Chains A and B, each alone.
Chain A
Amino acid sequence: MESVVSAVHISNLTFRYPGNDAASFTDMNLQVNKGDRFGLFGPNGAGKTTLMNIMTGLIKADGGTVALNGVKVDGHKFRVNHMFGFVPQDFSLYQELSPKENLEFFGAWYGLDRQTIKQRTDELLTVMDLQDVRNKQVQLFSGGMKRRVNLAIGVIHNPSIIFLDEPTVGVDVQTRHAIVNYLLELNSKGTTLIYTSHQLSEAQDLCNQVAMMDQGKIVAHDSLDNLLHAHEQEDLEALFLNLTGKKFRDDV
């Protein structure tokens, strides 16, 4: 019963974007165990975001199954959506609102009660060092502060799985350090992290499991140590180039 113990279980996944074979999947299988810090890497257009969107139910697969904590994503939207938090690359929040107001609103949409919303809002504003600006509009914030609000929203309901799409892009070293440390702290309490980024040095610090994607296929999946050893590479960046090549992959 693998699906019972897996945080994410993907079997025979098929998906095709009309007119874009590069971002299509055929019979893809993937398993992420509970408590893993799973990194999904690949060049632009490899299908990382598409796969993450399928895992979070934003896109419907053409075939196969995706299950989070043993519950199929398709057909159990509300049950599954309680389980995970989503931290998108864009600042998907209300810039006209303060961090406190954003957290209150998204907390309600995650189904938290009034007391829990208040308590978690307070905790997260402290953890993210936003207490002093709790009532200021987010649109006045720096990129790093917005990233912290964006992350706080994704974790307000204490999810068991967090999907992170480039959570530290465009931030300074201090903010990146704080975010990575916070994610490691959450993971130490049992939260599964599903992470994608082009910041490979950061990924090396954060991830214990790695999957490399290229042209809609998972070309390697193992623990970071095993992959480095198997491919005789010193770091994740070297491994990335070894597995996906040096050719530009930008697509129009």
Chain B
Amino acid sequence: MMFKLWYTIIKDVRILLRDKVGILMAIIMPVILVVVVTSIQNSTFELMNKNKLVLLVANQDTGKLSPQLIQSIDKIGMFRVKELAKGSDANALKTKLQAKEAELAVLIPKDFTARVSERAQASANKALKSFGMEGDSLKAAKGSTDPINMYYNPVLQEQIRLSVDGALRSALQLVESRETLRDLYLAINDKPLPDTLEREMLSSKTQIKQVSTSRSGDRLIPNASQHNVPAWTIFAMFFIVMSLGGSVVREKVSGSFIRLKTMPTNFIVGLISKQIVYLGVTMFQALVIFSLGVWLFPVMGLPALNIPSDILGLILVTILTGWCAVSYAICVGVFSKTQEQANGFGAVSIVILAAIGGLMVPSYVVSGPMKLLVNFSPLHWCIEAYYNLFLEGGRFADVISNIIPLIGITLLLQAVTVIALKRKNLI
């Protein structure tokens, strides 16, 4: 049995090595894919994590509060504020946005200081009235301030736009609160609010402590490599269908399967050999892509891939992912009548399974009936296990809940393959 298996493995390796297009599809294409996609997505991650958004400000106000507002916006740390020349209007901002000088811009209206002061005074007077301290200072607010217009490039992600909106509100609120506080203090004490007291009153007393839920306790900052390398490695492994599926079809069509059936050897030997050889290919794919992530990406200016601390867990998850990919490819090959069918169905089905499995869009954003469908994609369980290891610092024990469905799908594919081969009278 082992002797026959050894000769069969040699046969499969030779056929594989002579399939130049298959090797190209299995190794070179995924490498190109992972490098290109990671480079593109890296700019998005850098935008969120490192780079500051350029914010153009056209200040038409001449009062004291608009500089305070600009200073507050600057202090948020999210923006690189570029103030336009005095007198710049909405058209100037729009022109600059359309010229891609920035993605965002803010127009501070000309009566900003006057209106905010009036509203602050009105608020202060309301407060004094409620304390029973009505006096000369009581004035009514004339009306609401003209809105601060925020201009944005339409391609800007909504999430970014909403967080910018929140940041601007926070800066605005600080300016308004400070003004109200100053008026109130002045009315009560007939002297200006001391700086130290102002800082103490306006600064938040409750600290926000950022705690990462990573299992290793590290504060892992997501980057394009950590997300893309595992995802596209899985994609590449499942794309083995282009080579293996076609190989199975060729053997069927050539009549080799029929000849093997007349020989005193169980066909399971043939299936085991194919799985061993192509599992080796998937392992090689993973090794190449992970190595690129660790060593080549930093040279290219991309973030380096951090290999999970649980190396054994990573190896086991990779083996199980590869095994599932190989089982899927053999199954597609058995059901396909021609190589074109195997290649066409194989490629399209992998893209669909990748899409519903969370490789292209995170599966947590999927809702409704699609949420159920996600569970049927083997790629979903693979990516969940990898993310657990790569992004959450998990260990193999933490991914068992992902591994069990993956093994289940793999065994199902194996069973379907054997049943189909028997029904087609090929074994």
Residues of A within 8 A of B (CB): 56-59, 77-79, 81-82, 84, 86, 88, 90-97, 101, 104-106, 108-111, 113-114, 137, 153
Contact = CB atoms under 8 A, between A and B. Distances in A.
B255 A58 contact: no
B41 interface: no
Contact of B262 (A58, A93, A114, A137): A58
Given A58-B258, A78-B264, A88-B259, A94 B425 contact: no
B19 interface: yes
Most A CB within 10 A of own CB, among B14, B259, B261: B259
A88 B258 contact: yes
B264 A111 contact: yes
A137 B18 CA distance: 10
B284 interface: no
Most B CB within 10 A of own CB, among A59, A92, A101: A92
A58 B14 contact: no
B263 interface: yes
B256 interface: yes
Interface residues of B, number: 25
A82 B14 CA distance: 26
Most A CB within 10 A of own CB, among B7, B14, B15, B258: B7
7 contacts: A58-B258, A58-B261, A81-B263, A88-B255, A105-B10, A106-B263, A109-B7
Contact of B14 (A56, A88, A96, A113): A96
A196 to B, nearest CB: 15
B8 interface: yes
B272 to A, nearest CB: 13
A91 B11 contact: no
Contacts of B425: 58-59
B258 A108 contact: no
Contacts of A113: 3
Interface of B: 3-4, 6-8, 10-11, 14-15, 18-19, 251, 254-256, 258-265, 269, 425
A97 B4 CA distance: 17
A57 B264 CA distance: 11
Given A96-B18, A96-B19, A153-B259, A81 B254 contact: no
Most A CB within 10 A of own CB, among B254, B264, B265, B269: B264
Nearest to A83: B264
Contacts of B11: 94, 97, 101, 105
A81 B263 CA distance: 5
Given A88-B259, A94-B15, A153-B259, A109 B254 contact: no
A57 B15 CA distance: 28
Nearest to A97: B14
Nearest to A91: B254
B267 to A, nearest CB: 10
Nearest 6 CB-CB pairs, A to B?
Answer: A92-B255, A108-B7, A92-B259, A90-B255, A81-B264, A86-B262
